Chain A
Amino acid sequence: MSYKSNKFADKSLNFIFLSKLLKLNWIIILCVILLGLVGVASLYSAAGGYWDPWAKNHLIRLIFGIFLMLILAFLPHTIFFKLSVASFIIGILTLILVKFIGTGNVQRWLNLGGINFQPSEFMKLALILTLARYFDYISRIQLNRLISYVFPVFLIILPGFLVISQPDLGTGLTIIILGLAILFFVGISMKFVILSLILFASSVPFIWNKLYDYQKDRILVFLNPEIDSLGSGYQIIQSKIAIGSGGFFGKGYLLGSQSRLNYLPEKHTDFIFTLISEELGFLGSISIILVFCILIISIMKISLELNSLFCKIVTLGIGFLLFLYLSLNIGMVCGLLPVVGAPLPLISYGGTSLLTVLIGVGMVLSINVHDKEV
């Protein structure tokens, strides 16, 4: 499959712009804006009713990000196809770089001219693109052979382990699960999937020994938060208290006592959803989850309608990435999953994850606009 962009040369720019504007998936854009604004409102509440230090920054980033997303949406999606391998290589290089010149007490951040940036987030997108490119490149018949999956597994494991060794178990696992989901999607043999699961289960003790103490603690505490109710279990317990005490209607916007009195840890980043649940109750939490679901389903729907395998995989990958973000974060705050450190896309304070998601959605929009023209 090849892409030729000179097809549009005879049409006026104005016309192209308008036609693209009409083809934009406005539901996705609306969902993104809505969730971003929920984020701004929540961060305003997390600061105790102040724009500083989080809400204002988040709003600026959001506006900038949405602008970037729309630019991406108007770019032809062939760019992503072409940049896929390069982005992967750059991603791996920055991940290695961050090992040496990373900032922060855990080496996750790269300082680029005053802006802290987390390469592991962009790695997720790079991985999606690269895998899509790979599976688009190899022949259809080869997809049935197990040997075709050796290289993709390497592509997944390499960034996965680089990130885990930062150490950032949450993001690393997200990368690996994301990659494996794509392998599963393109049709890796079911027998192999089951075999891998068994292999994984049997290697758990080995992996356990390789974990850092704080990671072991987090998992142990997840299994029983009460063993350390003031240490690592504190976050989970306090988060559950905050969510549970919200009730159906919540305590009211800006009135969450748990967060206002600082019982909630990380209330502006990973535990932002706890604050929302406490203040807006079951109604608010479920509504926001519902908006996320609409966003994800819309993206998946695009994936289903596409013809090109590359576009199909990219769209599905980004949809699945959003789902992973959502379920890891919310699963964590409500105690269903261990505290692994996963942001809630569009709502949590933090530029990199916001940009990652907006770029991802921008790519989906672009694919949606341009793929139909093929």
Chain B
Amino acid sequence: MKNKSQKNLEKTISKRFFLLSIFKSFVVGAIGWRFFDLQMIENRKYEKLSDDNQFNFHMVAPERGRILDRKMRLLAGNMDGFSLVLKWNKDIDVDNVVNKILNVININQKDLIKFYNEIKSNSKGLPKDILITKNLSQKDVSKLAIRSIEFPEIIFSMTKKRVYPQGIFAGHITGYIGPYSNKDSPSKINFNTSLLEVGKTGLEKSFDTDLRGKFGRKRNEVTSKGHIIASQIYENTISGNDIQISLDMGLQAFAIERFERGNNTLVSRQDKNIKKQIERAYNINYVNKDYIYKDKKNRIVDPQSGSLIVMDIENGEILCSVSSPGYDPNIFSDDLEIEVWNNLKNNSRAPLLNRSMSGVYPPGSTIKMAVALAALESGIINYDTKFYCNGSKELGSSTFHCWAKDGHGKLNLIEAIEQSCDVYFYELGLKIGIDKIAIMMKKLGLGQYYDIEIDNKSKGVVPNKEWKLKRDGLQWSLGETLNASIGQGYLLTTPLQLVTMISRIANGKFSVTPTLMLNKNNSRFKPLKINPQHLNFIMKSMERVVNGNNGTARNYQIGSKEIEMAGKTGTVQVVRISEAEREKGLIKNEDRPWKKRDHALFVGYAPVLKPKYAISIVVEHGGSGSSVAAPIARDVFKYIFKV
């Protein structure tokens, strides 16, 4: 019995011993396979993960390229700045550190709020460098640096701050930069983008990739706690390229001041009487902070707003592009105060709008050369064709008035342009029809975008029959042709288009297009294909506007034998004048509310003998083209040709 049970037991135990051994072998086999899988099969994957742990890459921002004017004057550059950064991890008592720092230096309250938000948003609790402030002065740095033992958690870093030495003078052209946001480019940028600043408007935006350069990378070996134990350059930083543009900042500055003054006089703001009045005046971005303008009736007025462009008629280079009021792009380099931004955005004079390229205005009489050319090219009239102006033109039940109430009498084309007779152009318009006028306008550069290096969002409007049918589903009426013939009605142009039109007329051979670049290839121009004789004739009549006895701008000759300008004035009615008002007699322009005053325009070129530069001036609600815009053009040309 005992033997039997002994045998049974031994049998069972051997069996169980065997089963346990199989179990053990199975477990050890599984472990062995696991190690084979991890270390041999998936080795690559884990090696990469290990590297990701061991190393982290820091982007090193390149220095942004500069923007220079045609004489190498700096429009946009970089200034050294100092940032204060906290090497944050979970164990740091942030309040304590900040208080200690605040005992030594002052930190902008807004920066602190941003800093605390950043800490709160860092929910993962991973160690991270968090910016405390970017606006550290050299003095602050040295104050902190000598006590650096007390602040082991903070580091300084050199940053580059974008500066625009020309400030408000070229704000619309340079544009400004700001932190990258996903809106800025559809392609996903995979690296830490907090360093990246991209151009938001102007040249900064259009040349962003050129200016930006290439980010370098620094490879840091970091511990699990985020301490950097070694660091090396992994990829070199490539600085952005400088760009040189066609603006002449000397001319630009002169032009802005001259433009904003208009026909008003400068008075010092320190004057007691003036001070009182300023308090009531609009809050606007004055170029000149010490002076203010006073009109002929001694009223405090804002600077003129509008646009002034000077363009080289040979190569299309833009020497000067004023859009007033402007803004100082430097304000975007610091953290923008919300009030400043709101003032810019909501200001009734729209300082953010680049009027030169994006503002649209009815061209008024400045369009008459195009109408005349359309008529000459179509062969409907010749140089001597005459019409009679008695002050108005009846068409159906409507009356279309000439600016001269009593009429100009019988005159030919050259006289009609010289005196800007509206009735003559009503007759021309009726004879040639809107479609032919529209073709000529387009040939001269109106109603189209240009391939200019900066956003020019406005196309303007060159109406024709098809356009109206498409837009309103209505037939074109003859009255609308009459309005278009004197640059009113549907017709809308940008100042850039007007200066391009003059450049093409004065150039005579090529369809010049504007550019902000220096020495751009001129072969981009297509031939103009307008009879040179006709163009010569139109230029003669533009000379008469300034130099003729009856010219609308005869008071504003440059007065030099070699250098004289030619041009055309324009006064654009902003408010419709009813018959009743006309009967009562018109209220003088300067007595109307600003918004109801006429726009004053002048387009022209100089010198007459060998045309070189074209100009277009739009003074918003400035009054008459001959008395307000023409003198500005004269002074700008005087400045350019030093007479």
Report A's interface with B, CB cutoff 8 A.
139-141, 143-144, 181, 184-187, 230, 238, 240-248, 257-258, 261-263, 277, 281-282, 285-286, 289, 293, 296, 300, 303-304, 309, 312, 316, 320, 323, 326-327, 330-331, 334-336
Contacts and interface: CB of A to CB of B under 8 A. Distances in A.
Given A139-B5, A289-B28, 10 more contacts: A240-B46, A246-B39, A257-B54, A261-B229, A285-B35, A296-B24, A327-B28, A327-B31, A334-B31, A336-B34
Nearest to A285: B35
Contact of A185 (B13, B38, B42, B126): B13
Give the interface size class of chain B: 35 or more
B24 to A, nearest CB: 5
B32 A247 contact: no
A257 B31 contact: no
Complex A-B, nearest 5 residue pairs according to Cβ-Cβ distance, in ascending order: A244-B46, A245-B50, A187-B12, A140-B5, A282-B39
B39 A277 contact: yes
B35 A245 contact: no
Interface in B32-70: 32, 34-36, 38-40, 42-43, 45-47, 49-50, 53-54
Nearest to A262: B224
Contacts of A263: 53, 223-224
Contacts of A140: 2, 5-6, 8-9
B474 interface: no
Interface stretch (B15-23, B521-529, B543-551): B15-23
B139 to A, nearest CB: 38
B222 interface: yes
Interface string B567-600: 0000000000000000000000000000000000
A336 B8 CA distance: 38
B27 interface: yes
A244 B125 contact: no
Tell me the dominant secondary structure on chain A's binding face: helix
Given A243-B35, A336-B31, A323 B43 contact: no
B13 A243 contact: no
27 contacts: A139-B5, A140-B5, A141-B5, A181-B20, A184-B20, A185-B17, A187-B9, A187-B12, A187-B16, A230-B124, A241-B50, A244-B42, A244-B45, A245-B49, A247-B40, A247-B47, A248-B39, A257-B53, A258-B50, A261-B222, A261-B229, A282-B39, A286-B35, A289-B32, A327-B24, A331-B30, A334-B34
Contacts of B225: 262
B40 A282 contact: yes
A158 to B, nearest CB: 24
Interface of B: 1-2, 5-6, 8-9, 12-13, 16-17, 19-21, 24, 27-28, 30-32, 34-36, 38-40, 42-43, 45-47, 49-50, 53-54, 124-126, 221-225, 229
A262 B223 contact: yes
A281 to B, nearest CB: 6
A244 B2 contact: no
A327 B34 CA distance: 12
Contact of B46 (A241, A316, A336): A241
Contacts of B9: 140, 143, 186-187, 309
Nearest to A313: B13
A244 B5 CA distance: 52
A304 B17 contact: yes
A312 B35 CA distance: 33
A309 B30 CA distance: 31
Given A243-B39, A248-B39, A330 B50 contact: no
B46 A245 contact: yes
A187 B1 CA distance: 18
Contacts of B17: 185, 300, 303-304, 316
A282 B36 contact: yes
Contacts of B16: 184-187
Contacts of B42: 244
B39 A257 contact: no
Contacts of A185: 13, 16-17, 20
Contacts of B38: 240, 243-244, 334
Contacts of B21: 300
Contacts of A326: 28
Contacts of A141: 1, 5
Nearest to B30: A336
